[in-house]
Each structure stands twice: as C-alpha cells, then as structure tokens.
C-alpha cells in the first residue's frame, strides 16, 4: 500500500500528470464523476439501476473530497493526474487539480473500471488486443437502452475485446467473479444484434485487429454514465481525463465475489 | 409467471392475507421499505454502502407504486398481504393495503431476502434448522457498525443457520453466487467475535437447536436497514409485515452471478 500512497503523493505534488494505466499493479483504479448534490440522487439511482455499466465502488459524503472506504488518506481534489471540467454539457477545461473548482455540495462517485478484470484475463493467458497493439480499447454506443433515472438516460456503451471462442468462455467465467467492476460480458458475437453497424469504426477509443476465428466479446463500459450525464447538460460536472484514473487502496482481488 | 400474477391478484383482492413463505417457489420475494422522497437519497446511499445487509433489487420512481423492472403488472400499494405503518419511529398500524396512506412523494425500495438463497442450500442437502423446527430464523444485533449515510446508521443485524463445518463450506460457495440477496456469510463460528453474547437468545425471531459438532453461520439480514430507519425516526415509513413479502416476476436463479 506504500506504493499506492507514494504514487498518489507524487500526483498530488505535481510529479506525475500522465496516464495511470499499468501503475501500481494489483490495486483498483476507478473512474470519477463529481456532481453537485442536486443531481446526486438521480445519478445514484441511475447507477443502481444499471450496475453492468455503472458499478459503484464508493460515493462520498456531500462536500467531502475523501473516499473514506477505499482510500482514507486520499484527496479527490488533487490525487488524480488530470481532470475535465464540463459546464452545461460542454468541456471547458482540462486541469491537474480541482481545488479552485471545489464546492461544498459536491458528491464524488467512484465507478469501477475494466482494468480490474483485465489482469486476471491476462493471467489466464487471454490476449488483450488493444494492449498488444498499444492502442485504446474499442468502445461502441449500442441500441440497448439504459434504465433511466430522473434526468439521466441514454444507450449502453460497451467495450470490445476480440478472442477465440474457448477464450470467450473462460473470460465469462473470470469476469463473472467481478460484478462490481462490470462483471460478465453483455454480448458475444454478432455486433449488429446490439446495434453496432461497423465493428472497425468504434465510437470511442481505437479500432483493433480481429483475427480469423475470433469473436468480439462486449462488456458494459464506464463511459456509459459519463455519456448519460453529458447528454442531460448539468450546470457543472467534473470527471477524470481518460486513462488518468483514481488509484484506491483496495486490492483488485477484493472485488471478486468468489 | 401466471402463478405469480394469480397470487398477487388474490392478495390484491383480499383473498390472501397470510405469510408468503413457500408460495410460488422459484420466484424472488423481497422486503419492502417505503419512505418519502426527502429521505430517499440518504437511504439509497445507506443501501449502496452496505450491500451485504441491504441488497437493492429495485427502487421505484417517486410517486409510482409500480416496480417496472421486477413486476411491471404489480401495484405495491395492494399486492403485499400485510403492511406496517411507522410514524416517528413508532409502529401505529398494521393494514392489508396502503391506498389510503399513499403519497406522491413515496419512493419504494425492494430489498433482497435470504429466502432466495435458502432454496439452493436445501437443494444441496444443507438442512435449514428453523424450517425443520417450524420457527422463524434466529436474528442477532452485532457489534459490526454499518457504514452510515446521512441520517441513517446502526449495527449490522445478522441471521444465523447452524450446520456442520463441511456444509458451511458448501454454503459459502452457494451463497457467494447471490451477491444481490446477501451473498456469502459475514461470519462463521464464535458468536462473541461479532458481539453476540447469548446465541440461545436471539434479538429477533426464534432460537433454534444447534447440534453437537455444528457451527453457527451468519449472514447479513434485511432487518438491518429497517432497524437503521426506525432508529432515525422519520415522520413516516411503511414496510411489509414480517414474512408477508412482495413476490416479483424474477426467477431466483436470475440473481446468480455465476
């Protein structure tokens, strides 16, 4: 845990503003969404109703920047390398701390991230193409509607990893152990069945090679809640910048239910 | 599903006011907590922070008595056999419908119930003593604090089932498949370690026989959120009467994550 605290300290003091991918292996990294309290009930309900895409790791008390369960020595205003500020649904700034933006009514949502289940996939010998090819994971907007909650609604966004059918079966087993970080896939095979018209043209991230004999395997993606919030244009929202995640004190294996 | 709808119709029209235990086997039964909207955020956060004791199956839109995901043809005002009304933390009435009490700002919380994991335990040959002895399950207030949320706080309440050590191991495996209905046990063995001073004197329900060579196995219990709410004395709360549960359209096996 020393390594986690050291990296957070380095980030806090301006010594690290790069992506956190691959840093401090074994510890859970999360997405961050910060909203004023008046939006918090609807967003909490949206996450509760859509656990495959919006798995909540922690929700802070209003006004507190401390995630007391997953990282009691951390400060969410300074401990991520890069943040994005959105006003009325438009991105206005990218900053390395949010001290100047902090409000007493801010509620912070830490949302599970698929990094957590990729490690056990790799350890089982399942290749992860976007890592092999040095790209970002391929993400697609589907025709599967999320369950709406108050002002928040939108389609499910999924991430895709191509693999052989026998690897897909093993990947179902492995990721089912982690319901709090997206869990089992939501779809395997024909992209058209979930409204994806061109698998080589993802809506977010990069395209990756799909080899002969491989099937695309789709998981719920943490971009879903961010997209739903942006579409509803709240006065103010703060998120992490892509890949610049929050690193918790919680070991990834602690999220396994079995 | 016809059988579920038929029983709900019978309850709605006054033809059934008894316990639902053992009725329409295979379908999920839930606890019910109804609160005015002003308490809903704190209670939703309390449940999210304490998933072992307060596993949420569904939360309705404010003012709607229809659980549109788990039973779209049901009406929560009439479809439970018996309800309890609490004013300022005191029980004032027990009624068979809540039409007269309904408010436009009511939010209904359906909370998972251990009935759902008892069926697979029984099917694996694990005896459930309170059923064998025709009693209620033994429940105890522990010294394990729940994570608080806003006005809600309190100790974890657990249910206990005695069994042989090898059955306890199997029970861990079986109930781990069902994180949305309490999941794996929270404790096995010495009751004193979780603050229970007399195992033969439960705080709720009945004592059951613990045979020579058996260990007590403890699970998070749905009484926990009710106790936390009662302790904070909200103006108004409505719950199911013990054993008089809400029956959903969702098959119990659908809650298994693997």
**Domain residue extents for chain A:** 2-113+229-255, 115-224
3-state secondary structure chain B: CHHHHHHHHHHHCCCCCCCCCCCCCCEEEEEEEEEEHHHHHHHHHHHHHCCCCCCEEEECCCCCCCCCCCCCCCCCCCCCCCEEEEECCEEEEEECCCHHHCCCCEEEEEECCCHHHHHHHHHCCCCCHHHHCCCCCEEEEEEEECCCECCECCEEEEEEEEECHHHHHHHHHHHHCCHHHCCCCCEECCHHHHCCCCCCCCCECCCCCCCCCCEEEEEECCHHHHHHHHHCCCCEEEEECCCCCEEEEEEHHHHCCC
So what's the pLDDT on residue B12? Answer: 97
User: Which residue in chain B is spatially nearest to A146 when comparing CA positions?
Assistant: B69
So what's the pLDDT on residue B88? Answer: 94
So what's the pLDDT on residue B30? Answer: 95
Mean pLDDT (chain B, rounded): 95
Q: Does B40 touch chain A if contact means CB atoms closer than 8 Å?
A: yes
Q: Higher pLDDT residue, B40 or B22?
A: B40
Q: Tell whether the model's pLDDT for residue B207 goes beyond 80.
A: yes
CATH number at A115-224: 3.30.2040.10
> What are the angstrom distances between the C-alpha of B133 and each of A212, B127, B130, B198?
60, 11, 5, 20
- State how far residue A41 is from chain B, nearest Cα, in angstroms: 5
Taking only the tens of pLDDT, chain A with its 258 residues reads 789 999 999 999 999 999 998 899 899 999 999 999 999 999 999 999 999 999 999 999 999 999 999 999 999 999 999 999 999 999 999 999 999 999 999 999 999 988 888 989 999 999 999 999 999 899 999 999 999 999 999 999 999 999 999 999 999 999 999 988 899 999 999 999 999 999 999 999 999 999 999 999 999 999 899 889 988 999 999 999 988 999 999 999 898 988
Chain B positions touching A184 (Cβ under 8 A) are: 257-258
Q: Does A216 touch chain B if contact means CB atoms closer than 8 Å?
A: no
Instruction: Judge contact between B11 and B81, C-beta under 8 A.
Output: yes
So what's the pLDDT on residue B37? Answer: 97
Superfamily of domain A2-113+229-255: PSTPO5379-like (3.40.1640.10)
So what's the pLDDT on residue B140? Answer: 97
Confidence of residue B184 (pLDDT cuts 50, 70, 90): very high
Confidence of residue B22 (pLDDT cuts 50, 70, 90): confident
Residue A59 and residue B41: Cβ atoms within 8 Å?
A: no
**A21, A8, A5, A33: which is closest to A236 by C-alpha?**
A33
- State how far residue A251 is from chain B, nearest Cα, in angstroms: 18
Residue A258 and residue B69: Cβ atoms within 8 Å?
A: no
Q: Higher pLDDT residue, A142 or B136?
A: A142
Beta bridge partners of A145: A155
Q: Does B170 touch chain A if contact means CB atoms closer than 8 Å?
A: no
Q: Compare CB distances from B48 to A59, A173, A258 and report the shortest one's residue.
A: A59
Query: Which of B46, B48, B111, B149 should we substitute to test contact with A (largest number of A Cβ atoms within 10 Å)?
Result: B48
For strand A236-240 and strand A27-36, is the pairing parallel, antiparallel, or unpaired? antiparallel
So what's the pLDDT on residue B83? Answer: 97
Q: Does A176 touch chain B if contact means CB atoms closer than 8 Å?
A: yes
So what's the pLDDT on residue B243? Answer: 87
Cα(A257)–Cα(A202) distance, integer angstroms: 31
pLDDT tens per residue, range B35-71: 999 999 999 999 999 999 999 999 999 999 999 999 9
Residue B45 and residue A56: Cβ atoms within 8 Å?
A: no
Q: Tell whether the model's pLDDT for residue B125 goes beyond 90.
A: yes
Domain B2-113+225-255 class in CATH: alpha beta
Q: Compare CB distances from A257 to B44, B45, B179 and report the shortest one's residue.
A: B179
So what's the pLDDT on residue A22? Answer: 82
Residue A179 and residue B179: Cβ atoms within 8 Å?
A: yes
ipTM of the complex: 0.91
Q: Compare CB distances from A48 to B59, B179, B258 and report the shortest one's residue.
A: B59
Q: Higher pLDDT residue, B23 or A195?
A: A195
């Amino acid at each position: 845990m020393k390594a986690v605290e050291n990296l957070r300290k380095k980030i806090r003091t301006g010594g690290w503003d790069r992506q956190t991918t691959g840093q401090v292996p074994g510890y859970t990294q999360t997405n961050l969404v910060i909203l004023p309290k008046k939006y918090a009930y609807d967003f909490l309900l949206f996450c509760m109703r859509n656990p495959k895409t919006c798995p909540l790791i922690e929700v802070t008390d209003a006004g507190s920047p401390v995630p007391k369960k997953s990282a009691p020595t951390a400060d969410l205003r300074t401990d991520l390398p890069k943040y994005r500020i959105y006003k009325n649904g438009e991105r206005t700034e990218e900053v390395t701390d949010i001290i100047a933006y902090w409000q007493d009514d801010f509620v912070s949502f830490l949302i599970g991230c698929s990094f957590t289940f990729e490690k056990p996939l790799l350890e089982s010998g399942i290749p992860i193409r976007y890592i092999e090819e040095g790209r970002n994971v391929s993400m697609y907007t589907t025709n599967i509607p999320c369950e709406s909650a108050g002002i928040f609604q939108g389609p499910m966004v999924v991430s895709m990893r191509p693999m052989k059918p026998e690897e897909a079966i093993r990947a179902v087993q492995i990721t089912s152990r982690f319901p709090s970080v997206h869990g089992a896939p939501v779809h395997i095979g024909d992209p058209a069945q979930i409204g994806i018209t061109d698998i080589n043209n993802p809506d977010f991230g990069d395209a990756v090679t799909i080899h002969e004999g491989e099937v695309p395997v789709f998981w719920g993606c943490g971009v879903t809640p961010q997209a739903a919030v942006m579409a509803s244009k709240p006065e103010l929202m703060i998120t992490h910048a892509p890949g610049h995640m929050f690193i918790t004190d919680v070991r990834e294996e602690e999220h396994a239910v079995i």
